[in-house]
Every structure is written in C-alpha cells, then in structure tokens.
Structure 1
Amino acid sequence: MLDDILTVMWKERKTLFRFRGSRSRFLLTVMAPVLFAIVFPWQWGPDWVEEIPSILLSAII
C-alpha cells in the first residue's frame, strides 16, 4: 500500500511541476493546500475542527 501512495505522490508532483499556464495559476495551485492544511487551522485553533463551516470546507477539498 505504501508503494501505491508513493506512486500517486510521484505522479502528482510530476504533474504539478509540468503545469502549463501563468505563474499566478501555479501559485494558487500550490498555496491552496497550504492555506487549508496549515494557515487556517493555526489561526482558528480548536474551532477549526468544531465549527460547521470549516468541516464543510474540509469535505469539499
């Protein structure tokens, strides 16, 4: 199973760095997961996992 996960990660990384388009589109693609995985939980603290809007955002992503 670990091999499958590593393969998917490798393919996603390969696709990400072959991204065709503007630089701003690339930055948005890279920054969205960072915002939802690091910045928002850090700012909101425990409310990040207790409130409905944050749970809905996590489900959408």
Structure 2
Amino acid sequence: MESTADERQAHTGPKGYLYPGENADLPAAEHEEPWTAALYSGDGEYTNELFAAQVGIPLDA
C-alpha cells in the first residue's frame, strides 16, 4: 500500500471482489452456492479468479 497516495490515487490499482453466486443478503448459513474471489485491474477489467469455495461447504464452516 502506498501511504502517500491521495484518495483519487488509491482507487486506481487492482481490486479484489467476493461474489456469492446468489443473493448476498442471505445469512451465511443459508448460502448454497459457493463464493468466489476474483481480481480486477484498476480500470475494471477481469484479471483472474483467485479462489472458489468448494460446492457443499457452507460459508460459515
């Protein structure tokens, strides 16, 4: 992390997003679809899938 960057500069780098594969408003114990973590470039282009949970393993396990 660049501690001297202002807020505008801080939002230009890569970003990681978590996707629930279904309604994110559900309580963790009610999710049936696996969660996925993905990396996006600073301009919003998809780069890579970082992690995908195994099917059948609850989020709150």
Q: Normalising by structure 2, what TM-score?
A: 0.24
TM-score (norm: length of structure 1): 0.24
Structure in which a larger fraction of residues adopt helix: 1
Larger relative strand fraction = 2
